[in-house]
Amino acid sequence: MNKLKSLFVFTSDQRKGIFALLFFIIALQFAYFFVDFSIPTNEDPEEQKWLSLQPQVDSMKMDIANKRPKMYLYNPNFITDYKGYKLGMSVDEIDRLLAFRKENKYVNSSQEFQNVTKVSDSLLNVMSPYFKFPDWVNNKKEYKEFKKYPNQAFAKNEKIVLIDINQATKEDLIKIYGIGEAISVRILKQKEVLGGFVSMEQMKDVWGLSPEVIENLNSHFKVSVLPNFKKIDINNASLKELSQFYYFKYPLAKEIVTYRSMKGNISNIEDLTKIKGFPVDKAKTIELYLAFN
């Protein structure tokens, strides 16, 4: 016991040494917590400037990543290759729509669009909220109900006086249900471009007219007399003159000029139908605008 007790008995110098050691340890602890021992670096002011902008750059990147392109209403009949690709359509789906439109046909509902293009239900659900069809499409049901006439006696006794379509005014056309001011102007502009209508079949060439509205037009208008316009001399007209004709686009006009140079004069409409790209279904109408001399 005495030996153990002797271990804790220190001389005056030893006690001083112990206190000095404790003081040194405590001083080191304070220095560790309160003194910055990092090595100072020479920072580039320009680098610091760019680093200060980093939070803003990161924020802009996040905004761009989360930002979705704004979609606008559009008529699906006029989807181009590029727009179809951006909307997520496959090449085959776009080609089906373009082939359908080349036949001068139009889709008038989301269901018709899917039937033509064969797009999936999921893609249709994404695209269809932005479809915008002409006003007559939305009013088609209302139009059909209008034609039924609640008073059958009136429907039977009503006598319609046919007007020459080439003499019709904008006011005459607007009276037809399904034709507004915009479409009436479009019909009159088409007449001006052609020099006059030669057949009511040409109403099918006016964009925005549904089969029902065309049928109603036929019940109110007709071509009584062929309009007086200068016919196109098919054998002497220049490439420019031919390409300006409504039914002849530049490639077809070029084919006609080539045909003339290789085989001589074109005698009749049958000769024209042999040329590549000629719209055979409109041959009878086109013939009335041409002179075969």
Range of the domain at 183: 140-222
Handedness of CA 190, 194, 200, 205 (dihedral sign): negative
Domains held by the chain: number = 3
Identify whether 42 is part of a domain.
no
Distances (CA, A) of 193 to 89, 196, 228, 261, 262: 36, 8, 14, 28, 31
CATH number for the domain that contains residue 260: 1.10.150
Is position 267 within any domain? yes
Q: The whole model's pTM is what?
A: 0.47
Question: Is 96 a member of any domain?
Answer: yes
Q: Are residues 154 and 216 in the same domain?
A: yes
Domain end position, chosen among 91, 106, 133:
133
Start-to-end CA distance of the chain, whole Å, equals 145
Whether 75 and 97 have beta carbons less than 8 Å apart is answered as no
Say yes or no: 146 and 217 in one domain.
yes
Q: Give the pLDDT of residue 155.
A: 41
The verdict on 144 and 218 lying in the same domain is: yes
In angstroms, the CA 119 to CA 80 distance is 15
Mark whether 269 and 201 lie in a shared domain. no
Q: How confident is the model at residue 278 (pLDDT cuts 50, 70, 90)?
A: very high
Residue 124 lies inside a defined structural domain of this protein? yes
On the question of pLDDT at 26 being above 90, the answer is: no
Flag whether 33 is in a domain: no
Tell me the three-class secondary structure of 174-200, residue by residue: HCCCCCCHHHHHHHHHHHHHHCCCCCH
43 sits in which H/E element: none
**Distance between CA atoms of 76 and 98, rounded to whole angstroms?**
11
Judgement on whether residues 129 and 164 belong to the same structural domain of the protein: no
Report yes or no on 46 lying in a domain: no
Same domain, 147 and 215: yes
pLDDT in the model for residue 152: 43
pLDDT at 83: 84
In a domain, 6, yes or no: no
The Cα–Cα gap between 174 and 16 comes to 117
Q: Residue 15, CB half-sphere, CA atoms under 13 Å: how many?
A: 5
The DSSP output letter for 235 is: T
Same domain as 237, residue 267 = yes
Query: Are 127 and 146 in a shared domain?
Result: no
Task: Tell whether 27 is covered by a domain.
Answer: no
Q: How confident is the model at residue 197 (pLDDT cuts 50, 70, 90)?
A: very high
CA-CA distance, 196 to 225, in Å (whole number)? Answer: 10
Considering the domain architecture, whether residues 216 and 236 belong to the same structural domain is answered as no
Same domain, 155 and 122: no
- 90, 53 in Cβ contact below 8 A? no
Tell me the pLDDT tens digit for each residue of 125-169.
888 888 887 766 655 544 444 444 444 434 444 566 789 999 999
Domain final position from 172, 197, 222: 222
Residue 67: pLDDT band by 50, 70, 90 thresholds?
A: low
Same domain, 160 and 216: yes
235, with CB counted inside 10 A (0-12, 13-18, 19+), is: middle
How is residue 242 written in tokens?
């031919």
Is a pLDDT exceeding 90 seen at residue 75? Answer: no
The 10s digit of each residue's pLDDT in 89-119 is 998 999 998 888 888 788 888 888 999 999 9
Mean pLDDT of the chain: 82
In this prediction, residue 189 carries a pLDDT of: 94
Question: Tell me, what CATH number does 169's domain have?
Answer: 1.10.150.320
Give me 107's structure tokens.
Answer: 């889709």
Helix (H) or strand (E) holding 153: helix 152-157
Band the pLDDT of 238: cuts 50, 70, 90. very high
- How far apart are alpha carbons 137 and 132 in whole angstroms? 10
Per-residue pLDDT of 28-63, as tens digits, reads: 887 777 766 666 555 567 767 667 777 777 777 776
Over range 14-24, report the average pLDDT. 81
